[in-house]
Amino acid sequence: MDRREPLRNYCKGLLLDGERKSVEPMAARLAPDHVQRMHESLHHLVAQSPWSDADVLRRVRQYVLPAMEKNGPVVAWIVDETGWAKQGTHSVGVAHQYCGRLKRKANCQVSVSLSVATARASLPIAWRLYLPEEWAADMARREAVGVPVAAPFQTKPQIALSQIRQAMAEKVAPGVVLADEVYGSNREFREGVAALKLRYSLAVRCVTTVWAREREPLPPKPWAGKGRRAQRMRRDETHQPFTVEQLAGTLTQRAWRTVSWREGSKGALRSRFAALRVRPAYGDDRKIGQQPEQWLLIEWPDSEAAPIGYWLSNLSAATSLRKLVAITKQRWLIERDYEELKQEVGLSHYEGRNWRGFHHHATLCIAAYGFLVAERNRFSPSAQAGHLGLRAPRIPPGFRGRGSPGSPATT
pTM for the model: 0.84
Beta pairing, strands 242-243 & 209-212: antiparallel
The residue-averaged pLDDT of 190-196 equals 97
Question: Residue 381: its pLDDT value, please?
Answer: 54
Q: How many CB atoms lie within 10 A of CB 278?
A: 24
Question: Residue 276: its pLDDT value, please?
Answer: 96
Q: What percent of the chain has pLDDT over 90?
A: 73
For 176, list phi and psi in degrees, rounded to 5: -70, 130
Which alpha helices (H) appear in 330-402, and where do they start and end? 332-343, 355-376
Question: Residue 384: its pLDDT value, please?
Answer: 45
Q: With CA atoms as reference, report the closest residue to 279 among 263, 265, 290.
A: 290
- Alpha-carbon distance of 135 to 243, in angstroms, equals 35
Q: pLDDT-based confidence at 19, cuts 50/70/90?
A: confident
Which alpha helices (H) appear in 170-275, and where do they start and end? 181-184, 187-195, 227-237, 244-250
Bigger pLDDT: 38 vs 286: 38
User: Mean pLDDT over all residues of the chain?
Assistant: 86
DSSP string, 172-202: PPP-EEEE-HHHHT-HHHHHHHHHTT--EEE
- Alpha-carbon distance of 272 to 8, in angstroms, equals 48
Least confident of 53-62, 99-108, 188-197: 99-108
Question: Residue 31: its pLDDT value, please?
Answer: 94
- Selection from 94-103, 182-191, 285-294 with the highest mean pLDDT: 182-191
| Helix (H) / strand (E) containing 210 | strand 209-212
Least confident of 66-70, 99-103, 333-337: 99-103
Question: Residue 229: its pLDDT value, please?
Answer: 44
Q: With CA atoms as reference, report the closest residue to 111 among 131, 134, 95.
A: 131
CA angle 298, 303, 306 (to 5 degrees): 45
Q: pLDDT tens for residues 112-164?
A: 999 999 998 999 999 999 999 999 999 999 999 999 998 999 999 999 999 99
- Alpha-carbon distance of 121 to 388, in angstroms, equals 13
Question: Residue 357: its pLDDT value, please?
Answer: 95
Question: Residue 378: its pLDDT value, please?
Answer: 82
Q: pLDDT-based confidence at 410, cuts 50/70/90?
A: very low
- Alpha-carbon distance of 261 to 251, in angstroms, equals 22
Q: Note whether 123 and 375 are within 8 A (CB).
A: no
Q: pLDDT tens for residues 194-243?
A: 999 999 999 999 999 999 875 444 433 433 344 444 444 333 444 678 89
* Contacts (Cβ under 8 Å, ≥6 apart) of 334: 78, 80, 113, 115, 117, 122
pLDDT reading at 404 higher than 80:
no
pLDDT reading at 388 higher than 70:
no
Question: Residue 290: its pLDDT value, please?
Answer: 65
The residue-averaged pLDDT of 59-76 equals 96
The torsion region of residue 146 among left (phi > 0), alpha (psi -120 to 50) and beta comes to left
- Alpha-carbon distance of 27 to 4, in angstroms, equals 16
Q: pLDDT tens for residues 306-360?
A: 999 999 999 999 999 999 999 999 999 999 999 999 999 999 999 889 999 999 9
Q: Note whether 261 and 326 are within 8 A (CB).
A: yes
Bigger pLDDT: 390 vs 211: 211
Q: With CA atoms as reference, report the closest residue to 140 among 88, 90, 85.
A: 90
Q: Note whether 211 and 281 are within 8 A (CB).
A: yes
DSSP for residue 408: P
pLDDT reading at 409 higher than 70:
no
Bigger pLDDT: 288 vs 183: 183
Question: Residue 291: its pLDDT value, please?
Answer: 76
Q: Which domains does the chain have, with CATH numbers?
A: 52-376 (3.90.350.10)
